[in-house]
Structure 1
Amino acid sequence: MFTIIDRYIIKKYLGTFSFMLILLSIVVLVIDIQQKIPRIENAKLLDPKLDLAYFLMHFYPFWIINLVMTFLSILVFISVIYFTSRMANNTEIVAVISSGASFHRFAKPYLFTSLFIASLSLVVNHFVLPWANIKKNELEAYTYNAANKEKVLGTAPVSAQLSKTEYIFVNSWNKRERRGSGFIFQKFDKNRKLMYELKANDVYWDKDKKQFVLNSYFEKTTNKDDSQKLNNGFELRKSYGHAPEELFPNELLGQNKTTPELIKFIKREKEKGNSNLNAHLNELYQRTSMPVSIVILTFLALSLSSQKRRGGLGINLAVGISLAFIFVFSFEALKVVSENKSMSPALAMWFPNMIFLPLALFLYLKRANQ
């Protein structure tokens, strides 16, 4: 099935990729820890258990998984450029082609290895990474600066649309403590007439019974004959079908869900009438587009680095790193464009692949015909 040359290239591919992966993880981990130590020390003031050792055990392993999956295609791209350039400089590629093998045959182990990594990446992106993100996102806010930490853990107004006729508003909701003040629930009929309103001074989430507890509440029900029924009391428990994180989702919520869960969540939000879903749709489409880019970038790297040229390894790495920067920057820029509703999420997350695929195909065929 695989010849000696195939096994040699696969070993080179996986060996270089593994080395790059480990090197990136160690370097970035050390830099990130040094940068975030003051914020971790501040987190310890809020909760004594949140020391550096706790973060090393419960945050950084999952943070590394997220980091690796974010830059996986770029790591593959640079790895292929590096070891293929070395093979070209050592005239190993010339020797293989001179033995009678076509360039297409030489590229076979590149195809199989990139498909293997892409398939593994697909499984991790759709099912393993969300689990890692749950662990990571529980603590990540503590590593932010004061302003961004307040956005995630602090107090702010929130609202939710339960259906096309039901709405929740909380004037001041603390995400960390899961409690707030100024609660309002409103239900309208099909003619947008207010039929029921529930107000409460204070509200908090009972995680054991999975209910909202409303204190000092006031109810107003409007009957069909326009008469009104009023009711009030000290405490009222209500279940609105979901936890606060689901009712008042932030952009990180989509990262925490496996793909089947994310699809259900997006469908439910669309049925409720929520049109602000582009951040979650970006997450959904990127989980597939990024693994596909591994195969595309593998052949682009092969085409760029399989020929001996003046400047050798240095010029190939310079070109590779430049293209890698463009690729990553385009993804991040298109996310912002999509979230601003200037481009559909599907097009935004697949657009870099749509640009790089013809380029990779053109350069590969040009190299194969030389």
Structure 2
Amino acid sequence: MKKTLYRYIFNEIPPPFLVGMVTFTFVLLMGRFLRLAEMVVEKGVPFGDVVRMVTYLLPSFWLFTIPMALLLSILLAFGRLSGDSEVTAMKSCGISLYGLLPPPLVFSVLATLGCLWVTIYAVPWGNSSFKKLMLDIAQSSAGVSIKEKVFNNAFPDMVIYADGLDGKGQNMNGVIVHDERDPKTPTTIFADTGALFSDPRSHSMEFQLKNGSIHRSEEGGGYRMVQFQEYILRVALADTTPKGPKKTSEMTIEELRHPPAGTPKKEVRLRRQELYSRLALPFSCIVFTFVGVPLGIQNRRSGKASGFSLSIAVILCYYIALSGFDTLGEKLILPPLLSGWGPNLLFLLAGGYLFMKTAAEEPLPLAALYQRLKDAVSARLHRGEKR
């Protein structure tokens, strides 16, 4: 009988979990859609490349949407079971709330394993593939983004003007290039003709300019003008040499686990904190199970809309705690292990308390407060109608 019951409860969780994954992922992608649409319309980026970009971005979103969708699914599943009095029927058969825990716990373990795979493998693959694709797009679409008789800012700190272009946008005539990459010596180049080529090996673009002049302002108010018959202007699309130390958020798991010899103690500590934080986030799925089951049972009459809002409220509180513990770790107030796992421990204690109160059929403090506020508002509105 228990197998049938567990299968029944387990089957309640996947549908809202998939709905939550799609909904939360779409919400997170909304911030990128405008920029992606701009790349398609203005720079002529193929739609297939945009789809690939979204694919590479998905793992970094899944790291957050999997725990969010899990919490939502448990809230909705147990809210539905409680709203239809099925939880009451199970209790009348001698099955306690602890006996209902294995199905959501098994699902949360599966979600944790999936989230760990995303953290260790999918996110690094997506980030590296996304950077490589963006570089390829920059090389292939730079010529397309240059329009004739328009001052174009296709490259950072540069303005390019072409009086005429050929069909492919590579050969130009009547070229003006204003270069402010070095603010101390701004340069303006005039050329009769020019051609634009990409150099994938050096991740740069080349302007091959002919028959023109270079006008450069020197420091101290000086001025220099140089005539040329042929001049090559190279524009880097990506800085392949890092200007500073690599951020811990950009490091792989292996880099965090094995810092090079001679790394300062503070840097080692920050790497350990980042490592613990990354590993702790997937295990929030298990923590949310202990929080979601009692809240879902208490939320039996509020419907799906309340389940969405309640899940967002819990997740918001969790990420506030995550940010707070991370700040305390960076300021060396907490050790790296406690800084990374502190939010999970805090919410696990809160979830255990809620679970025991619900199992003992005692009202939750927040639920009682919410009901009092609701009754007070209703009473005030009722008095207002009488007047």
What TM-score bracket applies, with the shorter chain setting the length? Answer: 0.5 to 0.7
How many angstroms does 1:293 deviate by?
1.2
Cα pair 1:110 1:299 within 8 Å, conserved: no
Which residue of 282, 292, 300 maps to 1:301? 292
Mapping 1:225-236, distance limit 5 Å: none
| Distance in structure 2 (CA, Å) of the matches to 1:73 and 1:117 | 8
1:25 is the counterpart of 2:19: no
How many angstroms does 1:122 deviate by?
1.9
C-alpha offsets along residues 312-355 of structure 1, whole Å, 9 cap, x if unaligned? 55555443321211112332344455445554443222121121
1:122 is the counterpart of 2:119: no
Identify the structure with bigger relative contact order (alpha carbons < 8 Å, sequence gap 6+): 1
> Whose Rg is larger?
2
Which residue of 55, 58, 63 maps to 2:57? 63
Which residue of 247, 266, 284 maps to 1:250? 247
How many angstroms does 1:66 deviate by?
0.9
| Distance in structure 2 (CA, Å) of the matches to 1:323 and 1:308 | 14
TM-score (structure 1 length as normaliser): 0.61
The range that moved more, 273-282 or 21-30, is 273-282
Cα pair 1:137 1:252 within 8 Å, conserved: no
| Distance in structure 1 (CA, Å) of the matches to 2:300 and 2:114 | 34
Distance 1:69 1:246, change over 3 A: farther
SS in 2 for 1:102: coil
RMSD after superposition: 3.6
C-alpha offsets along residues 2-35 of structure 1, whole Å, 9 cap, x if unaligned? 6122112212112221221123334443552125
Mapping 1:53-132, distance limit 5 Å: 53-57=48-52, 59-132=53-126
The answer for the alignment partner of 1:346 in structure 2 is 337
Distance 1:260 1:251, change over 3 A: closer
Distance 1:248 1:358, change over 3 A: closer
Cα pair 1:16 1:79 within 8 Å, conserved: yes
Cα pair 2:62 2:118 within 8 Å, conserved: no
| Distance in structure 2 (CA, Å) of the matches to 1:19 and 1:313 | 12
The answer for the alignment partner of 1:369 in structure 2 is 360
Aligned length: 266
| Distance in structure 2 (CA, Å) of the matches to 1:312 and 1:85 | 8
| Distance in structure 2 (CA, Å) of the matches to 1:154 and 1:342 | 41
How many angstroms does 1:90 deviate by?
1.1
How many angstroms does 1:126 deviate by?
2.0
The answer for the alignment partner of 1:7 in structure 2 is 7
SS in 2 for 1:8: helix
| Distance in structure 1 (CA, Å) of the matches to 2:133 and 2:273 | 23
Distance 1:346 1:39, change over 3 A: farther
| Distance in structure 2 (CA, Å) of the matches to 1:317 and 1:299 | 17
SS in 2 for 1:32: helix
| Distance in structure 2 (CA, Å) of the matches to 1:40 and 1:282 | 40
Mapping 1:178-193, distance limit 5 Å: none
C-alpha offsets along residues 224-279 of structure 1, whole Å, 9 cap, x if unaligned? xxxxxxxxxxxxxxxxxxx845984234531xx2x234312xx21x6233734566
| Distance in structure 2 (CA, Å) of the matches to 1:74 and 1:26 | 13
Match of 1:56, as an amino acid? V
User: Any stretches of 5+ residues in structure 1 without a counterpart?
Assistant: 144-152, 156-179, 181-205, 208-242
Match of 2:290, as an amino acid? F
| Distance in structure 1 (CA, Å) of the matches to 2:39 and 2:335 | 37
TM-score (structure 2 length as normaliser): 0.58
SS in 2 for 1:271: coil
Mapping 1:117-156, distance limit 5 Å: 117-138=111-132
Distance 1:308 1:301, change over 3 A: closer
Which residue of 277, 283, 287 maps to 1:286? 277
Cα pair 1:335 1:348 within 8 Å, conserved: yes
Cα pair 1:85 1:308 within 8 Å, conserved: yes
Distance 1:284 1:41, change over 3 A: farther
| Distance in structure 2 (CA, Å) of the matches to 1:333 and 1:56 | 36
C-alpha offsets along residues 54-92 of structure 1, whole Å, 9 cap, x if unaligned? 2321x2112111101123212211221112111111112
User: Any stretches of 5+ residues in structure 2 without a counterpart?
Assistant: 139-154, 158-181, 183-200, 203-239, 362-387
Divergent runs of 4+, >6 A: 39-42, 140-143
SS in 1 for 2:95: coil
C-alpha offsets along residues 168-199 of structure 1, whole Å, 9 cap, x if unaligned? xxxxxxxxxxxx9xxxxxxxxxxxxxxxxxxx
Percent identity of paired positions between Structure 1 and Structure 2: 19
Cα pair 2:59 2:118 within 8 Å, conserved: no
SS in 1 for 2:13: helix
| Distance in structure 1 (CA, Å) of the matches to 2:134 and 2:271 | 19
